[in-house]
């Protein structure tokens, strides 16, 4: 690879990753809002909605910790 290709790769990859993560988080927030709207319409869904939102936020926390986990793997010289 030449220098221009490397430059392009390392400048566009972070933007693409950030856009992808942003879309995921936006979808998760819209999902949580949709759950809240359904609970407002039908109070009998409260228990189910709470468990769904707990699972949703648990998954969001996992996504949030991914960079830290990758750094730990790099420190321990683990390759994929």
Question: For residue 44, what is the DSSP state?
Answer: G
The percentage of residues in the chain with a pLDDT greater than 70, rounded to a whole number, is 79
Burial category of 56 from C-beta neighbours within 10 Å (exposed 0-12, middle 13-18, buried 19 and up): middle
Q: Is 39 helix (H, G, I), strand (E, B) or coil?
A: helix
Interval 13-25 mean pLDDT: 85
Asked if pLDDT for residue 57 goes beyond 70, the answer is yes
Helices assigned H by DSSP within the chain? 3-41, 46-75
Q: In the predicted model, what is the mean pLDDT of residues 24-37? A: 87
pLDDT at 69: 64
Q: According to the model, what pLDDT value does residue 80 have?
A: 46
């Amino acid at each position: 690879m030449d220098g221009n290709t490397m430059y392009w790769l390392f400048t566009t990859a972070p933007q693409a990753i950030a856009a992808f993560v942003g879309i995921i988080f936006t979808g998760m927030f819209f999902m949580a809002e949709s759950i809240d709207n359904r609970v407002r319409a039908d109070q009998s869904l409260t228990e189910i909605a709470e468990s769904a939102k707990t699972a949703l936020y648990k998954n969001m926390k996992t996504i949030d910790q991914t960079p830290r986990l990758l750094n730990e793997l790099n420190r321990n010289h683990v390759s994929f």
